[in-house]
Amino acid sequence: MPPAGFVVRTLGAADVDLFRQLLAVMGRAFDDMDIYTGAQPGDGYLGELLGSGHFIALAAMNGQAVIGGLAAYVLPKFEQERREIYIYDLAVAEEHRRKGIATTLMNELIGIATARGAYVVYVQADAADAPAVALYSKFTARTDVFHFDIEVP
CATH code, domain with 34: 3.40.630.30
Side-chain half-sphere exposure of 64, counting CA atoms within 13 A: 1
The pLDDT value given to residue 144: 77
Asked whether residue 18 is domain-assigned, the answer is yes
pLDDT at 31: 93
Domain holding 32, by residue range, is 12-137
Q: What is the pLDDT of residue 143?
A: 76
Q: What is the pLDDT of residue 74?
A: 97
77 occurs within a structural domain: yes
Which residue intervals of 8-129 are DSSP H helices? 16-29, 33-37, 43-51, 101-115
State residue 2's pLDDT score.
55
Mean pLDDT by 10 residues, the chain (153 residues): 80 98 97 95 98 97 96 95 94 93 95 94 76 69 76 87
Position 6 in a domain: no
**Residue 22 falls inside a structural domain:** yes
pLDDT score recorded for residue 134: 66
Instruction: Write down the pLDDT at residue 142.
Output: 74
pTM for this model (two decimals): 0.88
- Between CA 105 and CA 118 the distance in angstroms is 17
Q: In the chain, how many domains are there? A: 1
Evaluate whether 35 touches 27 at the Cβ level (below 8 Å).
yes
